[in-house]
Amino acid sequence: MNDALLLNGEPLLTIDPELLRATSYGHFSSLQVRDGRVDGLDLHFERLDRSSREVFGLPLAADRVRADLRAALDHAGTGDLSLRVNVFATTELQLLVRVSPPVDPGTQPVRLRAFRHERAVPHLKHTGTFDLIYYGRQAELAGYDDAVFHTASGEISEASIWNICFARGTSIVFPSAPVLPGIRQQVLQRGLDTYTTTSVPLTDLPTYDAAYLTNSIDPALPVAAITTDQGTTTYGEHAVSAAVIAKAYEAVPAQEI
């Protein structure tokens, strides 16, 4: 017999069962495209190749990824959209590109609830996202906007779908706990004149002037508050660090697909 898929008892005749591999074992990268350009496109290429070598033992050439991205832009008929490149494998690497409308950055500072949680193989942007969604939902049910994680030793690491950084005056600080090195975070680090990567214990949260979340959608989403089991640290608007981050992004132009 052949593999088959049924949804609510009805066969899905137009969907290849092999596509389930893209959601069960694989890795991906998400891109926001504006005017056919992407922030840190070369970093996306590097991530997809490095992850493919580690997860599947196979290289993934940048030219192949670029060709599929251009095909997605041609299909959409616009240079402003969201793309997600899923990589899975049968006997060879397969690329599944999801095309959707562009997403604008958030404008409202977010309130985060801290959870003790360390992702499996955190340096990979892998398809195992159950825990991220679970803790994000638990935070929302408790009245917060999203979750931020800390290690067993009490060090801040990352948020559910973001990297996080902190500011003291004009100095930008990134947690040294194991995290996914996000593309937007790497772009920001490229543009900064200087930055620090160090341990950020929960007890040190009140010593910072501001905190920001970064991902492919949000380059610098301000954090309004972080709540831990010991209490809540609040952050107000901090124009000095916001200007440093904005200047850093301006220094690194987006790259054409």
DSSP β-ladder status, 210-214 and 221-228: antiparallel
Q: Residues 194, 214: one domain?
A: yes
Q: Residues 245, 180: one domain?
A: yes
Q: Residues 70, 180: one domain?
A: no
* Structural domain boundaries enclosing 33: 14-100
Q: In this model, does residue 22 exceed pLDDT 80?
A: no
186 within a domain of the structure (yes/no): yes
229 within a domain of the structure (yes/no): yes
Q: Residues 22, 60: one domain?
A: yes
Q: What is the pLDDT of residue 116?
A: 98
pLDDT in tens, 193-251: 999 999 999 999 999 999 999 999 999 999 999 999 999 999 999 999 999 999 999 99
As a whole number, the mean pLDDT across the chain is: 95
Residue 249's closest CA among 148, 105, 112? 105
Q: Residues 25, 64: one domain?
A: yes
SS (H, E, C) the chain: CCCCCEECCEECCCCCHHHHHHHHCCEEEEEEEECCEECCHHHHHHHHHHHHHHHHCCCCCHHHHHHHHHHHHHHHCCCCEEEEEEEEECCCEEEEEEEECCCCCCCCCEEEEEEECCCCCCCCCECCCHHHHHHHHHHHHCCCCEEEEECCCCEEEEECCCEEEEEECCEEEEECCCCCCCHHHHHHHHHCCCCEEECCEHHHHHHCCEEEEECCCCCCEEEEEEEECCEEEECCCCHHHHHHHHHHHHCCCCEEC
Q: What total of structural domains would you count in the chain?
A: 2
Q: Residues 165, 205: one domain?
A: yes
237-242 — which CB contacts under 8 Å span 24+ positions? Answer: 238/167, 238/209, 238/210, 240/167, 240/169, 240/170, 240/209, 241/167, 241/169, 241/170, 241/172, 241/209, 241/210, 241/212, 242/210
Q: What is the pLDDT of residue 21?
A: 73
Q: Residues 117, 59: one domain?
A: no
Of 70, 100, 130, the residue at which a domain comes to its end is 100
7 within a domain of the structure (yes/no): no
pLDDT in tens, 66-115: 999 999 999 999 999 999 999 999 889 999 999 999 999 999 999 999 99
pLDDT in tens, 159-185: 999 999 999 999 999 999 999 999 999
Q: Residues 60, 131: one domain?
A: no
Q: What is the pLDDT of residue 91?
A: 85
2 within a domain of the structure (yes/no): no
Q: What is the pLDDT of residue 1?
A: 64
Q: What is the pLDDT of residue 16?
A: 81
Q: In this model, does residue 54 exceed pLDDT 80?
A: yes
Of 100, 123, 157, the residue at which a domain comes to its end is 100
Q: Residues 75, 174: one domain?
A: no
Q: Are 212 and 163 in contact (CB under 8 A)?
A: no
Give the distance between the most distant pair of CA atoms in the chain: 65
Q: Residues 123, 162: one domain?
A: yes
Torsion angle, alpha carbons of 51, 121, 211, 213, to 10? 40
Of 66, 100, 134, the residue at which a domain comes to its end is 100
Structure-token pair, residue 97:
């590109």
Q: What is the pLDDT of residue 95?
A: 94
Q: Are 192 and 216 in contact (CB under 8 A)?
A: no
40 within a domain of the structure (yes/no): yes
Q: Residues 63, 118: one domain?
A: no
CA distance 24 to 90: 13
Structure-token pair, residue 245:
């981050």
pTM for this entry: 0.94
The domain that holds 117 is classified in CATH as 3.20.10.10
154 within a domain of the structure (yes/no): yes
The domain that holds 34 is classified in CATH as 3.30.470.10
Mean pLDDT of 140-156: 98
Structure confidence at residue 19 as a pLDDT band (50, 70, 90): confident
Q: Residues 190, 223: one domain?
A: yes
Q: In this model, does residue 149 exceed pLDDT 70?
A: yes
Mean pLDDT of 122-139: 96
